[in-house]
Amino acid sequence: MSHLDESMQGGGRPRPTLGNFLYSKTFRTFAAQIVMAVIVLMAGLFLYRNIIDNLNAQNIATGFGFLEQDAQFDIGETAIRYDASDSYARAFLVGLLNTLIVSAAGIVLATVLGFAVGFARVSSNWLLSKVATGYVEIVRNIPVILQVIFWAVVLRNLPNARNAMDFYGLVFLTNRGLSFTVPSANPVHEIMGLAFAAGIVLAIIGSYLARRHREKTGKYIDMLWPSLGLIFGLPALVWLAGGAPTALSIPVLKGFNFKGGATISPEFTALLVGIALYASGFIAEIVRAGLQATPRGQVEAARSIGLKPRFVMRYVVLPQALRVIVPPLTSQYVSLMKNSSIAVIVGYPDLVNIGNTVMNQTGQAVEAIAVMMLVYLTISIVTSTLMNFYNRLVAIKER
């Protein structure tokens, strides 16, 4: 309890009679809360009764039973196996995965762009920093939905498949999307993926051991190249050991579309570019503020003791900058994820778009919207929990 209570408990020192009790601040505070609680409950009850009455009066179906029925509609882009005979629940899952895919791609793109522009903003090159400022002002101040629609219309007006923009016969850009050459499917690829993950784990362990070693002996071991070697070398070794398969799957125009290779749909691209550019403007500003939070004196001090520029960044600027950058950055990530819900306007099958279809097919708007809201709420809560955890991790440790 805070100082506010003290102010509320002020007043005279009356004798304890019933009248005085009724007018005492303690009682009034208590009564006010009871009334508040009653009003909130009543309002809730009122709304609940209305909706039940309304739904019953018209025999509208209620409940989440529909989730197990057959969806009977197809989805354009699916990360998992799905067809029209699957359930509504699975359709929702497909939508959720699509939301996560476009959000993840958006976060990567926005972060790369945002950091690049953020660094450009604080660059000592006047021209570059002004260009970066112009970029930030433009992408931040145009509504994200306008940007997404704009990119969607631009992509739709690209040439059709027969007149595709052809890049060396390997990459094709059409109004059906970007088709590009990928290595033909090969079991070796899965092992390479595992090797890549193992490389990352080994690199982390290696860096940890190197740090322990340094803390004990004061001798510095540069782990940058060994780490990169592990992460990219291991998959390369696996590839060689697997017979170095070089077969490529090249997109070829067959019938209506390019077959083979991999294709990124225009809807995905438009949404991705729109939400990522928008977020990159905000991220650039966050990065700028973070970089400027390190007093210049510290950088100069670090240089004057002969630290290489890479280490000045790594050990002086970034640790301080990240503490300032990471919390607002995460909320940008969450808001990017929520912005991906405008997919419905360009037709990318994300959670809201699928939910929208389900709402129409079943007519159960309340339930379908509740599913969407709960999913987003869960993602937000999980993210902010992780964030708090990270904050505790990087918070300044006072000794």
Exactly one of 89, 202, 289, 316 binds another protein (CB under 8 A); that residue is 289
The verdict on 31 binding another protein (CB under 8 A) reads yes
Exactly one of 198, 311, 323, 330 binds another protein (CB under 8 A); that residue is 323
Exactly one of 37, 197, 237, 248 binds another protein (CB under 8 A); that residue is 37
Shortest distance (Å) from residue 189 CB to another protein: 25
Residue type, 165: M
How many Å apart are CA 69 and CA 266, to the nearest integer? Answer: 31
* Centroid of chain to Cα 122: 26
The verdict on 40 binding another protein (CB under 8 A) reads yes
Cβ–Cβ under 8 Å, residues 248 and 294: no
Specify the residue, 141 or 217, whose C-beta has the smaller distance to another protein.
Answer: 141
Specify the residue, 147 or 227, whose C-beta has the smaller distance to another protein.
Answer: 147
Exactly one of 187, 244, 396, 399 binds another protein (CB under 8 A); that residue is 396
Specify the residue, 165 or 205, whose C-beta has the smaller distance to another protein.
Answer: 165
The verdict on 309 binding another protein (CB under 8 A) reads no
Q: What binding mask, one character per residue, do residues 238-267 give for another protein by CB under 8 A, x or -?
A: ----------------xxxx--------xx
The verdict on 292 binding another protein (CB under 8 A) reads yes
Tokens representing 84? 């029209």
Q: Among 75-83, 105-113, 188-196, 205-213, which window interacts with another protein (CB under 8 A)?
A: 75-83
How many Å apart are CA 231 and CA 205, to the nearest integer? Answer: 12
Specify the residue, 17 or 217, whose C-beta has the smaller distance to another protein.
Answer: 17
Give 312's contacts (C-beta < 8 A, 6+ positions apart).
299, 302, 303
Cβ–Cβ under 8 Å, residues 249 and 232: no
Q: Among 100-108, 233-241, 309-317, 344-352, which window interacts with another protein (CB under 8 A)?
A: 344-352
Angle among Cα 233, 236, 242 to the nearest 5 degrees reads: 145
How far CA 346 is from CA of 149, 367, 369, in Å, comes to: 7, 24, 20
The verdict on 228 binding another protein (CB under 8 A) reads no
* Residue listed under structure tokens 């990017």: 336
The verdict on 122 binding another protein (CB under 8 A) reads yes
Site for another protein in 189-208 (CB under 8 A): none
How many Å apart are CA 159 and CA 151, to the nearest integer? Answer: 15
Taking the CA atoms of residue 370, residue 376, residue 382 and residue 384 in that order, the dihedral angle to the nearest 10 degrees is -120
The verdict on 386 binding another protein (CB under 8 A) reads no
Q: Give all strands of the β-sheet with 262-264 in edge-to-edge order.
A: 165-167, 171-174, 177-180, 262-264
Count of residues that bind another protein according to CB under 8 A: 117
For residue 21, count CB atoms less than 10 angstroms from its CB and return exposed for 0-12, middle for 13-18, buried for 19 or more: exposed
Shortest distance (Å) from residue 307 CB to another protein: 19
Q: Among 56-64, 191-199, 208-216, 229-237, which window interacts with another protein (CB under 8 A)?
A: 56-64
The verdict on 137 binding another protein (CB under 8 A) reads yes
Closest to 175 (Cα-Cα) out of 286, 257, 244:
257
Shortest distance (Å) from residue 284 CB to another protein: 15
> How many other CB atoms sit within 10 Å of the CB of residue 203?
19
The verdict on 121 binding another protein (CB under 8 A) reads no
The verdict on 27 binding another protein (CB under 8 A) reads no
The verdict on 93 binding another protein (CB under 8 A) reads no
